[in-house]
Amino acid sequence: MEEFWKQVDRFIQAFYSVPFPGWQMKLKKKKANCPAVNLVIQDNQDTKFISIDLIPALEMASQWPCTKKVKDLLEENEQLQLMRVFYFMAEQPPGRLNKETWKISFSHVEKEILNCHWSPEACRRYHMKECCRKECLKMLDDLVDALKMEYPQMLAHLSSYHTRTSFLHTLWEWKNNEDWKPSEVSQCFSRVLANFIHEVATAHLTHFFLPKCNLFGAKFFPPTKLKFLWARLREKEGTTKTFTVSRKKACSALVVNPDMSWPIMITLGLMVLVSIVIPHITL
């Protein structure tokens, strides 16, 4: 990790500069036993504009068993290509002795599944415009983020991976385009939220790719805090329509300054450059 941190620092010092006067990219101080290297882009007033976590990953050239749900949501040619590789990502779980731990990651498959089901091309062929799948997932993420901000200690175990996994299960149950009409976003989000609440209530959220793993099991999520989450979600369930309407207003009212889109594009480019350049830097 020390070597990884040094190489990222060398990259931004020697190969990269933010193309805005007064803007800069900084490498934050390394945290003990933390696998993430944190980069921040600050504007000319030293306000943090965006933060990026770079985490080491090991690419494993080995085929993994494709579950029925994955097969149902992907075309056969896509399955064969994606099943040829998976990744281990550095992780720092709780505990003093867990210093070198890696977790299995299927992020590349998750991304492909979601892209297949809400890509503009696929949606417009059926709805003449984009479906509401992406909006429903964003609303569920926003709801969970708001709860985590309101109850940071009680919901420390809750993450976006829980909402994404729950959404993938809902997507499998409702995989047809007619189930996600843009004009029925309120009903669709109610369905997504109800499914998530059911998984919390039953303390059963299976990993989408490893069905034997229960993400809401007592080993991963304390039962008392899961009950607390269930109570808060039930309170929010009655305000689904209000939440949906406010989300739509927020989306429609959002105006992105053209100048602000550049840092995002730069950040994406930086991540690609880091992945290409760093492995070839002579140690």
List the one residue out of 93, 90, 114 whose CA is nearest residue 159.
93
58, 86 Cβ separation under 8 angstroms: no
At residue 224 the predicted structure's pLDDT band, cuts being 50, 70 and 90, is: very high
Q: Share the mean pLDDT of the chain.
A: 77
- The strand ranges marked E within 55-128 are 57-60, 86-91, 101-105
Question: pLDDT-based confidence at 241, cuts 50/70/90?
Answer: very low
Task: Read off the pTM.
Answer: 0.70
Closest CA to 32 of 13, 58, 51, 5: 5
* pLDDT score of 124: 57
3-class DSSP state of 201: helix
Residue 201 is encoded by which pair of tokens?
Answer: 């209530």
pLDDT of 97 strictly over 80: no
Specify the pLDDT at position 52: 85
| Per-residue pLDDT at 213 exceeds 80 | yes
Q: Tell me what pLDDT residue 120 has.
A: 65
Q: Is the pLDDT of residue 245 over 70?
A: no
- 89 beta partners: 57, 103
**Alpha carbon distance 195, 48 (integer Å):** 36
- CA neighbor of 236 nearest in space, from 136, 138, 147: 147
In angstroms, the CA 243 to CA 237 distance is 9
The percent of residues in the chain predicted with pLDDT above 70, rounded, is 73
What tens digit of pLDDT does each residue of 262-278 get?
Answer: 444 444 455 544 454 44
- What's the Rg (C-alpha) of the chain? 21
Tell me the two tokens of residue 85.
Answer: 């590789």
Q: In the prediction, which pLDDT does 269 show?
A: 52
The strand ranges marked E within the chain are 24-27, 37-42, 48-54, 57-60, 86-91, 101-105
* Out of 43-57, 154-168, 253-267, least confident range: 253-267
pLDDT band at 111 (very low <50, low <70, confident <90, very high): confident
Each residue's pLDDT tens digit, 156-199: 999 999 999 999 999 999 988 888 888 888 899 999 999 999 99
Is the model's pLDDT at 255 over the cut of 50? no
Phi, psi (degrees; rounded to nearest 5) at 236: -75, -25
Q: How much is the pLDDT for 87?
A: 87
